[in-house]
A and B are shown apart, each in its own frame.
Chain A
Amino acid sequence: MTKIKFPKNFAGIDGKKALEGIMNETEPEPKDPPTGTSNPLPIPTGDLTFVDKEDLYKEISKYIPTELPNLPNPLTFSDQVMKQSNPYLAVAVDMFCKKYLPEYRLATQLDLEQDLAFTKDTYNDTGLALRSLAEPNKSQAEYLFNQIKQRGFTEDDFPFFIQLRGLELDNQNFNLTDESLIHKQVKCLKWESGTNYSKTDNFGLPKSKNKKSSRQIWTIQNGLSRCYLNWISNLYADNSGLSDSGDDGRVVLAKPRSG
């Protein structure tokens, strides 16, 4: 067996410099929680953040069974971060923030688009794609659309993108609130699955197709599905498993923008 000698420059990248870059990477310094405030909860760090304080995770874990007793809670805390995500958990965490940690709210799709590197290697729920009143998730689709209709929208406005931030849960039903943001006639939600795109619109959703881009949106054509960015920043709008959750799921929090 001959000794394997690797190239000094791989794919045009200087190995020495790349190695130095990794070794010089520093973990973000945690900010000290503000003292003397009325809010006793530990504050996460950064404009976009995961739940990276165990005490905060514990508070969320207490909140869910108390306020939403029927909601299965697979959240765990390891490697200094809260793991798992699905639309229900994301909304539950947003409800928690709204009540106890208003400095932060659930990150929107647009928030995530500002720093895609932050969420790399994780997946993050941000919305629901409502395309028709059929399966999958027919009953949840009807329940949501009955509320949407009251805002003057019709079936001609399908498909809808419903932002998770601002929704509220009641016995595992998604309820619109005054904060809820609904985007109608979102064409990309019915693009061919696997379509490539690069530019995004004001909601952080794919705006136009671009074959040259490596980013993809994955879709289905009917019913209600979740929308999440996956670990390589593709937008998955085809998963009907609303309560499915994985270890690489992260609920992302963002500082709400002013104005």
Chain B
Amino acid sequence: MSNLNKYQNSTELMKLGKVPFYLDNFVEACLKGRLNLFLQGDSGMGKTHLATNAMNYFPGKSMFILGRNDMDTRELFQQINLGKLKDAKSSQELKELTDKIDNHLLVFDELPNCVPVVRAQAFNLFDGFIELNGKTYSIGEGYSVGIATGNIGQKFTESSNDLGRALKDRMHVTIDVDYFKPTAKNTFNILSGNTSPSIDFTQKQEEGDLEEKILTAHREIVSQEIPFEKLLLANYLIHGLDYVKIGSRETTKTRLKDTWPNAITNHGAGSDEALILPVSIRAAKSIIRLSQSFDYIAREKGASEEEIQNNYFNSMMQAFKFVGAYSGILNDLKVREHYGNDKYSAMDAVIQTTQTQYDSQKKNLSAGFHMVNEGKKLQKVLNKFNGRWSFMRGFLEDILEENSLEKK
């Protein structure tokens, strides 16, 4: 059971092997991976409650800010005890002031209410710095992360929407809590206790070494070697999902730019070729980090090393689902037409296709790696990598060449 005891929601979001993951585990995974989390959903669904519970991990080193449309940056800085910034006369003084900010977690409720300039500073705070007069100053003693909430429906994923773009750029993981409502048993419990609809900020923050637990986990996660299988899958999401064939022309969705997905008029229109764009390198990093956090938590919950290794694919795909669904890579029109506007269902369909793709190539991949280890270039093996997997052909050839140069 997670340490966020007070938040009650036993609806499962995913399973790694036999280990179930709930919303509070996702928050924990984001904290351990140092990934900014955006919780979106209808009012009263428990977003703020979930976010404020996360503050228990950092007693005295977390901060809650309620976003308002009349908030300016001066007020924001005052709230984080940087009201004296305007009085600082030199960069050194600014640095001394910002060094004193040791907050590890910033919870920003109703972030979309704020004007863009405040949002931009909030994103900087999440990432552990403040930007003043073109210079950046670190805060948070080397670890800083943000959780934001908002109720903005599906609109923010539209590319024309400034808020959508900002959120996509700066928030690593977005969870729509409307899809993961507390169970009836949870709501019975919730309603039979405190019936005040307001968030209770008087709850005593838990004592103990929770902060150190998160920081230690984070240090371990970032220093762990990333399993090769995960790197391969991340590359498939970057390059394999980019592949598209129009008529007899092989190209990429990236090159199609705004003509994707309308340019896909042949049979690919009915496949995931017209449903999803490839992930960016930045998103791929978030996926790997989140997957590593999932594995870490699964290990804590008693999963064996063998179980964790057997679930690398699943772990990566679940991370892909929650990083990707609201990141703007899905074709919204197709999601509306085929998946009842449910982005998670659309992601599940893409994951199924990825599973088929991956299963069909495992043997060839293993053969290809052995070929490179042996220092041989075998056309018969390289020919196995075409279509979405053509990126592997180039990769194997490059490594072969690099290795042969090293030998010389």
Among the listed B248, B265, B337, B367, which residue makes an inter-chain contact with A18, where contact means beta carbons less than 8 Å apart? Answer: B367
Most chain-A Cβ atoms within 10 A of its Cβ — which of B268, B348, B378? B268
**With A3-B403, A25-B380, A216-B349: A16-B370 Cβ-Cβ less than 8 Å:** yes
- Given A19-B374, A241-B266, list of 19 further CB < 8 A pairs? A10-B369, A11-B366, A14-B366, A19-B370, A19-B378, A23-B380, A120-B360, A193-B349, A214-B355, A232-B353, A233-B356, A234-B353, A238-B270, A239-B269, A241-B269, A244-B265, A244-B269, A246-B245, A249-B267
Question: Least Cβ distance of B408 to chain A in Å?
Answer: 13
Q: Mark A213-248, 1 if CB is under 8 A from B, else 0.
A: 011101010000000101111101011010011111
17 A-B pairs in the complex with CB atoms less than 8 angstroms apart: A13-B363, A13-B366, A15-B369, A18-B363, A18-B370, A22-B381, A23-B380, A83-B248, A194-B345, A218-B338, A231-B387, A236-B267, A241-B269, A244-B265, A246-B246, A246-B267, A249-B267
- What interface size band does chain B fall in? 35 or more
Q: Is the CB of B386 within 8 A of A121?
A: yes
Question: Least Cβ distance of A134 to chain B in Å?
Answer: 15
Interface of A is mostly: loop
Q: How far is the CA of A6 from the CA of B338 in the complex (A)?
A: 40
Q: How far is the CA of A8 from the CA of B355 in the complex (A)?
A: 22
Q: Which residues of A contact B338 (CB under 8 A)?
A: 192-194, 218, 238
Q: How far is the CA of A185 from the CA of B371 in the complex (A)?
A: 51
Q: Which residues of A contact B355 (CB under 8 A)?
A: 214
Q: Which residues of B contact A194 (CB under 8 A)?
A: 338-339, 345-346, 348-349, 352
Q: Is the CB of B229 within 8 A of A232?
A: no
Residue B402 lies at the interface, judged by CB distance under 8 Å to chain A: yes
Residue A9 lies at the interface, judged by CB distance under 8 Å to chain B: yes
Question: Least Cβ distance of A178 to chain B in Å?
Answer: 30
**With A18-B364, A236-B270, A244-B265: A6-B369 Cβ-Cβ less than 8 Å:** yes
Q: Which residues of B contact A19 (CB under 8 A)?
A: 366-367, 370-371, 374, 378, 381
Q: Is the CB of B356 within 8 A of A234?
A: yes
Question: Least Cβ distance of B383 to chain A in Å?
Answer: 9
